[in-house]
């Protein structure tokens, strides 16, 4: 009888192992707990983490990015892209500590063709579209755009470590000539800008994005979208997507000729700086393009005509 507790522990362990192997949501939660136990999620308290892991509320980030959409394949590579994540849109290479963010952005990308997602603010991508993404990070949105049929994706990203991860994530698209990576910050004029990383993301435990700041220790090339479009000889642009930590207003100012010429849909974040809504919409008004728009307190989508209902994500 004294061996019963030991036997029960072995049986329980075997049961948990089977559950982890059979259900990605269980495997995901165990991997998150493993990260916490090894100090990789120090910015998230244990109590808060447990609340998120047991939450199924869709209006909480935790209810989405711990559901098992993304699974960690391995983390045996070298920094800055030591981890590979299996996702519904293909493998993504990224730092291990960005695991939560990978899950959230993949879920967001999967919602590209679901009008109810993000209050109908996710752009529609049709086969043959030419997409420009600013702040392409590790290539998640670009990878999704390719899956939805985009003929060409211009991925603009200034941070060298992110570019390295993106090259791995988008290797197939690059080889096929469907992806162009532009290592620069999208800005209102050509030149250079300085950037700094905002530090640990206390909501997800990952690393927060980079933003333009005079005191930043990273100097990068700055280019306008108009300049990039001219250099690449693009004959159409169907979508410009922006999530660039408050630089949206500057990037839009540098895209005025592209917007006037091609009238692409424009999807932009308006929650990084307090005056983002007024600034972003003010720039679009000055450009003078004839658009309809939808917005909430975080995003705005400028579009022409109705947004078509498209098939669910692959």
Question: 60-99, pLDDT tens digit by residue?
Answer: 444 344 445 777 777 777 889 988 988 889 999 998 878 7
Distance CA 207, CA 151 (A): 31
Which of the 8 DSSP states describes residue 289? -
Could you tell me if residue 309 is inside a domain? no
Could you tell me if residue 279 is inside a domain? yes
Return the structure tokens found at 78: 């070298």
Q: Output the CA torsion 137→139→145→150 (10° steps).
A: 110
The answer on 77 and 220 residing in a single domain is no
The answer on 123 and 96 residing in a single domain is no
Mean residue pLDDT across the chain? 82
The reported pLDDT for the residue numbered 110 is: 79
Q: Which residue has the tokens 């690059």?
A: 174
Could you tell me if residue 236 is inside a domain? yes
Q: Which of 33-42, 92-101, 270-279, 288-297 has the lowest mean pLDDT?
A: 33-42
The answer on 199 and 266 residing in a single domain is yes
Any bridge partners for residue 293, and if so which?
Answer: 302
Where is the domain boundary, 107, 124, 144? Answer: 107
What domain count does the chain have?
Answer: 2
Which of the 8 DSSP states describes residue 310? -
Q: Which of 89-103, 117-131, 204-218, 238-252 has the lowest mean pLDDT?
A: 204-218
Where is the domain boundary, 82, 107, 132? Answer: 107
The reported pLDDT for the residue numbered 236 is: 97
CATH number at residue 183: 3.40.50.150
Mean pLDDT of 159-177: 97
Strands 179-182 and 152-156: parallel
- The residue among 69 and 131 whose pLDDT is bigger is 131
Is pLDDT above 60 for 200?
Answer: no
Q: Are 211 and 247 in contact (CB under 8 A)?
A: yes
Q: Tell me the range of 99-108, 199-208, 272-281 where mean pLDDT is highest.
A: 272-281
Task: For residue 298, give its domain range.
Answer: 116-303
Rg (CA), the chain: 21
CA-nearest of 87, 78, 179, 188 to 136 is 179
The answer on 270 and 185 residing in a single domain is yes
In this structure, the chain runs to a length of: 314
Would you say the C-alpha torsion 123, 190, 140, 269 has a positive or negative sign? negative
pLDDT confidence tier of residue 250, bands split at 50, 70 and 90? very high
Could you tell me if residue 314 is inside a domain? no
Q: Which residue has the tokens 């700094």?
A: 196
The answer on 200 and 72 residing in a single domain is no
The answer on 86 and 53 residing in a single domain is yes
Percentage of residues in the chain with pLDDT exceeding 90? 51
Distance CA 83, CA 68 (A): 16
Over residues 278-297, the pLDDT tens digits come to 999 999 999 988 899 999 88
The answer on 160 and 99 residing in a single domain is no
Q: Are 132 and 236 in contact (CB under 8 A)?
A: no
Could you tell me if residue 206 is inside a domain? yes
Could you tell me if residue 223 is inside a domain? yes
Enumerate residues 6+ apart whose C-beta is below 8 A from 298. 269, 270, 271
Q: Are 67 and 106 in contact (CB under 8 A)?
A: no
pLDDT confidence tier of residue 162, bands split at 50, 70 and 90? very high
Q: Which residue has the tokens 């306008």?
A: 224
The alpha carbon of residue 80 and the mean position of all alpha carbons in its chain are separated, in whole angstroms, by 17
Could you tell me if residue 308 is inside a domain? no
The answer on 275 and 189 residing in a single domain is yes
Distance CA 41, CA 39 (A): 6
Could you tell me if residue 57 is inside a domain? yes
Q: Are 181 and 169 in contact (CB under 8 A)?
A: no
The answer on 89 and 47 residing in a single domain is yes
H or E stretch at 30: helix 24-37
Q: Give me the sheet containing 210-212, strands edge to edge.
A: 185-186, 218-223, 191-197, 210-212
Is pLDDT above 90 for 102?
Answer: no
Where is the domain boundary, 80, 107, 134? Answer: 107
The reported pLDDT for the residue numbered 308 is: 42
The answer on 187 and 89 residing in a single domain is no
Is pLDDT above 80 for 223?
Answer: yes
The reported pLDDT for the residue numbered 128 is: 97
- Helices 160-169 and 140-147, interaxial angle, to 10°? 30
The answer on 86 and 201 residing in a single domain is no
The answer on 251 and 208 residing in a single domain is yes
């Amino acid at each position: 009888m004294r061996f019963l507790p030991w036997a029960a522990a072995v049986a329980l362990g075997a049961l948990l192992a089977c559950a982890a192997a059979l259900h990605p949501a269980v495997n995901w939660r165990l991997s998150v707990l493993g990260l916490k136990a090894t100090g990789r999620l120090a910015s998230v308290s244990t109590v808060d983490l447990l609340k998120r892991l047991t939450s199924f509320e869709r209006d909480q980030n935790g209810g989405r990015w711990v559901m098992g959409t993304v699974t960690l394949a391995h983390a045996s590579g070298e920094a800055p892209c030591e981890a590979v994540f299996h996702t519904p849109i293909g493998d993504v290479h990224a730092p291990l500590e960005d695991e939560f963010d990978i899950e959230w952005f993949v879920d967001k990308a999967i919602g590209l063709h679901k009008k109810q997602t993000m209050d109908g603010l996710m752009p529609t991508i049709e086969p043959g579209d030419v997409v420009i993404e600013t702040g392409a990070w590790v290539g998640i949105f670009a990878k999704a755009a390719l899956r939805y049929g985009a003929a060409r994706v211009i991925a603009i990203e200034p941070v060298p470590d992110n570019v390295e991860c993106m090259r791995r994530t988008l290797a197939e698209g690059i080889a096929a000539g469907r992806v162009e990576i532009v290592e620069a910050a999208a800005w209102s004029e050509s030149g250079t800008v300085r950037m700094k990383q905002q530090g640990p993301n206390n909501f997800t435990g990952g690393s927060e994005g980079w933003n333009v700041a005079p005191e930043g220790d990273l100097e990068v090339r700055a280019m306008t979208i108009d300049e990039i479009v001219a250099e690449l000889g693009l004959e159409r642009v169907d979508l410009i997507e922006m999530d660039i930590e408050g630089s949206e207003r500057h990037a839009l100012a540098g895209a005025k000729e592209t917007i006037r010429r091609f009238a692409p849909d424009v999807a932009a974040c308006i929650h990084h700086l307090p005056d983002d809504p007024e600034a972003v919409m003010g720039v679009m008004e000055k450009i003078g393009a004839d658009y309809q728009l939808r917005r909430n307190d975080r995003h705005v989508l400028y579009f022409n005509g109705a947004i078509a209902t498209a098939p669910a994500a692959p």
